[in-house]
Amino acid sequence: MKRIARHGMFWGLYILFTVGIYYVQEPNLGLHLLYELASLPAKLLTAYLTLYVILPQFLLKKKYALAVLQFMVLLVIGVFLLRMLVSLTVYPIYFPDVTDQLIPDNLSKLIPPLLDLIIVSSLVVVIKLLKDREKQELQHLNREKSNIQNELLLLKSQLHPHFLFNTLNGLYAQILRDPEKASQMVVQLSDLLRFILYEANEDLVSLEEDLECLGNYVALEQMRYGDKLDLDYSVLGTTVHKKIPPLLILPFVENSFKHGVSEDYAKCWIRCKINLSDDVLALHLENSKPSFFDQQSINRGIGLKNVRQRLDHIYPGDYNLTIQDKEDRFLVNLKIPIASL
């Protein structure tokens, strides 16, 4: 029904438009309106046969010669049908003393109806092609969106086990050294698991909850290393009414603990500062770099690789990430937009 209504609206607007043009040249509304209504069947026949037969069966299949031939035949039929209908309706009322022959002596009289049919047929074909192109572009965008969403889900599914694997390794080591501290770590870990399992699957989460998850992880690692680690962790700014994609910051902090802190390295330190403005989160992170630092272990890891891909998908061209590998330290600076409620 909607399709019929759209077609009806098109032909109504077309008739009004052409009647208006003719009326400017000769102010006889009844004549022009009757002419358009009388010629409408010929125009419908030509337009719809062009649209639903010649266009899909020949023109779009690049059978151009057959398309041109069939269109010319259709135009001849349409012109004579149009003249016949007009001679039976318009002439008896407005030109009773004029005899209109189906094939006129002066063939130039065939030019106006011929142009009418060419114009209306071309118009409907152009509208159809534009509509199909818009539909294809929309389908392409939907496929791209679906692919991006699937890829983001895959990246998250890889990130969660990766993070948990490293955290459980730390918990296991702590159980062997200090069971009492290990029990506290279990509580912190349970909060992390709750966030990852029930909150982190959303596209956006509360910035406050995401940073609380980050704080729990930092607390876990602080208990793990104790006095061996000089840690400076701070969050400046308000988290109220702000949202962020989950687990974007955590992999960078996790990486600083994994590669910048070691039981066998006496001078371990981490500086993590998060500054929050109205619409930007800025992370400055640097950590010590042991002399036996293994660059290949970072290159093989999936944490930073995945978070880079997520940033590219979520903020294409709208984030800033710099990673510096210096002789004695590793630095990360990240700026991302913050969504407000």
Least confident of 140-144, 261-265, 292-296: 292-296
Q: What is the DSSP letter of 287?
A: E
In this model, does residue 255 exceed pLDDT 70? yes
Token pair recorded at residue 332: 């990360």
Q: What is the pLDDT of residue 265?
A: 64
Look at phi and psi of residue 237 and say left if phi exceeds 0, alpha if psi is from -120 to 50, else beta.
Answer: left
CATH topology for the 162-340 domain: Heat Shock Protein 90 (3.30.565)
Render 159-208 in DSSP notation, one character per residue.
HHHHHHHHHHHHHHHHHHH-HHHHHHHHHHHHHHHHIIIIITTSSSEEHH
Confidence of residue 167 (pLDDT cuts 50, 70, 90): low
In this model, does residue 300 exceed pLDDT 60? no
The SS3 of residue 50 is helix
Q: What is the pLDDT of residue 280?
A: 93
Would you list the domain boundaries of the chain?
A: 2-105, 162-340
In this model, does residue 273 exceed pLDDT 90? yes
Confidence of residue 306 (pLDDT cuts 50, 70, 90): confident
Only one residue has tokens 């962020």, namely 244
Q: What is the pLDDT of residue 251?
A: 84
Q: What is the pLDDT of residue 320?
A: 94
Phi, psi angles (nearest 5°) of residue 275: -110, 130
The string of pLDDT tens digits covering residues 69-119 is 988 999 989 888 988 888 888 878 877 776 666 666 666 777 888 888 998
The SS3 of residue 63 is coil
More confident position, 161 or 11:
11
The string of pLDDT tens digits covering residues 66-77 is 888 988 999 989
Produce one character per residue of 53-79: b if its CB has 16 or more CB atoms within 10 Å, e if not. ebbeebbeeeeeeebeebbeebbeebb
Confidence of residue 234 (pLDDT cuts 50, 70, 90): very high
pTM of the model: 0.54
Q: Under 8 Å CB-to-CB from 127, ≥6 apart: which residues?
A: 10
